[in-house]
Amino acid sequence: MSSDPWETLRAATRARVGLGRAGDGLTTAENLRLAAAHAQARDAVHAPLDVDAVVGALGERAGPVVVSQVADRTEYLQRPDLGRRLASDHGLEAGTWDLALVVADGLSATAVHEHAAAMVDVLLPRLEGWAVAPVVVARQARVALGDEIAEALGARMVLVLIGERPGMSAPDSLGAYLTFDARPGRVDSERNCVSNIRPPDGLTYDAAAEVLVSLMTEAFRLQLTGVRLKDTGAALPSAAG
């Protein structure tokens, strides 16, 4: 049996617990692990989106590739407002769609590379009967860029799969942001979010898809998203006994 009383808890979580001490500070090993995690998070923020790889993974489901009004990654980090606005030459054409689906780099292209296509694979079969536009891939994008994309496509609702801000234990977390009647000027309180999609350490694709489909179905019934649309948790897995 281990003499470390924290070992059982550390085995059950990726949170940093019971790190130990060397004098008044952390041990050298823990300091090195923290530095490596910080470097991973920084790399995820600055890594460029591999558009060809994402489009290739999406296959025939892939639609147009668009970019925000951001010129480069430095401007993206300094001017969030420009990341919410489409470049004027976006080339999107209006149609009649129930849902616009957007895959966006956000603050972690790493998350998009690892999880976006697989999430689309699991989600789309659950949307049989829905008019879903070809998946738009967006570079230098913030969540609200989806509002302009939906308006340009003529979609009633938009779902943005986007790389979330990396944490020290999660550089590859994918978020899904849902907005009904999406258009420029929508605010965060008018959206619903399913966060931390990153199996095996976060939400699985199946669990995320069940929650999203439940929210989208209710969004159409109520004609809204945001704080008035509640996730009852019925689609979430039960806690282990």
Is 197 in a helix, a strand, or coil? Answer: strand
Q: Is 112 annotated as a binding residue?
A: no
Please give the Cα distance from 80 to 47 (Å, whole number).
Answer: 17
Nearest partner of 13 among 198, 186, 202, 221, judged by Cα = 202
**178 in Cβ contact with 143 (< 8 Å):** no
Q: What distance, in Å, lies between the first and last C-alpha atoms of the chain?
A: 24
| Residue found by looking up tokens 């809204």 in the block | 224
Task: Say whether 143 counts as a known binding-site residue.
Answer: yes
Q: What whole-number distance in Å separates Cα of residue 44 and Cα of residue 25?
A: 28
Alpha-carbon gap, residue 214 to 234, rounded angstroms: 9
Torsion of CA 182, 221, 237, 168, to 10 degrees: 10
Q: What is the arrangement of strands in the sheet containing 192-197, beginning at the earlier edge strand?
A: 62-67, 135-139, 97-104, 155-163, 174-180, 192-197
Taking the CA of residue 119 as centre, how many other CA atoms within 13 Å lie in the half-sphere pointing to its CB? 36
Q: Is 176 helix (H, G, I), strand (E, B) or coil?
A: strand
Tokens read off for 99: 């849902």
- Residue stretches of the annotated binding site: 143, 164, 193
- Residue stretches of the annotated binding site for adenosylcob(III)alamin: 143, 164, 193
